[in-house]
Amino acid sequence: MQRFYIEKAAIDNNTVSIEGREARHIGKVLRMCEHDSINLFDAEGTVYTGTIIKRDTKRVLVRIDDRCAAPERDDTIIIIGQALPKGMKMDLIVQKGTELGVSRIIPFSSMRTVARYDARREQDKVRHWQQIAVESVKQSGMRHIPVVEGVSEFKGLLDRNLDGYLKIILWEEENAVRLRQVIKAAGSLKKVFILIGPEGGFDQKEVSSAREHGFTPVSLGEAVLRTETVSLAVTAVIRYEAGAFA
């Protein structure tokens, strides 16, 4: 059965009011009616089963019959720092990253970043990406919605407190160190922070600065992948090595 996203704050005495996009999907698209059973989830990963008790053109009221809190996350926490790509590529990165179990996605601008947003448009973009993450959780059956942050500067990412994280920066000019080597040497993959550059790659000064902040430059081999492919490939590899797909 399809699941629908709700805000936890919208629950009042085991009744939740659903409005906006989700209400339209329930009523106009799926034509669900009063007394129909429905599955819901919130941003904390709690899953609810309920019954529709009222529906009109703008709102759906649901009685919550049961709830199941999400288990504590005991798998790998993966944070993707993604340089802003051109066009709609970020949509794909957020969608597929969510399906693969990414915990947080941080868009950032770097020296070779082409895509730029003013402050107002940036807020619209972040809301759009966060909604894509919600829709991807609905489709994939994942329990946790990754946080999509506002656009950061590259230097700001390096200055973050990342104690305990395996820190990787993907760089096509790295000749000696491969991703596989770093993963094998790390031992634990509980926390991983991955920096992925724009279409033109990272500038050498950026890589040197990242190295000074504890990041390990790594290569994926001879193939030069598109920026939207890199994040998905690396995430899948790390999740596999951590046992997620076993």
Q: Are residues 99 and 197 in the same domain?
A: yes
For residue 25, being part of any structural domain is answered with yes
Does 118 lie in the same domain as 17? no
CATH of residue 40's domain is 2.40.240.20
Domain endpoint, select from 41, 68, 95: 68
pLDDT at 246: 59
Same domain for 59 and 172? no
Q: Do 117 and 216 fall into the same domain? A: yes
Residues 232 and 115 in one domain: yes
Which residues partner with 193 through β-bridges? 79, 167
Give the tens place of pLDDT for each residue, 85-134: 988 999 999 999 999 999 999 999 998 887 776 777 888 899 999 999 99
Identify which of 64, 63, 3, 67 has the alpha carbon closest to the alpha carbon of residue 30: 3
Are both 54 and 138 inside the same structural domain?
no
Span 46-71, pLDDT tens digits: 899 999 999 887 889 999 999 988 76
Confidence of residue 204 (pLDDT cuts 50, 70, 90): very high
179: domain CATH number is 3.40.1280.10
- Under the banding of pLDDT at 50, 70 and 90, the label for residue 147 is very high
The mean pLDDT value of the chain amounts to 89
SS3 content of the chain, % helix, strand, coil (to 5): 35, 25, 40
Average of per-residue pLDDT across 201-220: 94
Q: Which domain, by its residues, includes 27?
A: 3-68
List b or e across 71-100, with b for residues whose CB sees 16 or more CB atoms inside 10 angstroms.
Answer: eeeeebbbbbbbbbbeeebbebbbbbbbbb
Task: Supply the pLDDT for residue 60.
Answer: 92
Identity of the amino acid at 1: M
Q: For residue 120, what pLDDT is reported?
A: 75
Looking at the 3D structure of the chain, how many domains does it have?
2
Q: Tens digits of per-residue pLDDT, 4-48?
A: 999 888 899 899 999 988 888 898 888 889 999 999 998 888 899
Is residue 229 predicted with pLDDT exceeding 70?
yes
In a domain, 177, yes or no: yes
Residue 151 gets which letter from DSSP?
A: P
User: Same domain for 107 and 49?
Assistant: no
Q: What is the pLDDT of residue 1?
A: 65
Q: Is residue 246 part of a domain?
A: no
Please indicate, yes or no, whether residues 111 and 220 belong to a single structural domain of this protein. Answer: yes
Domain-located, residue 159: yes
Q: What is the pLDDT of residue 81?
A: 96
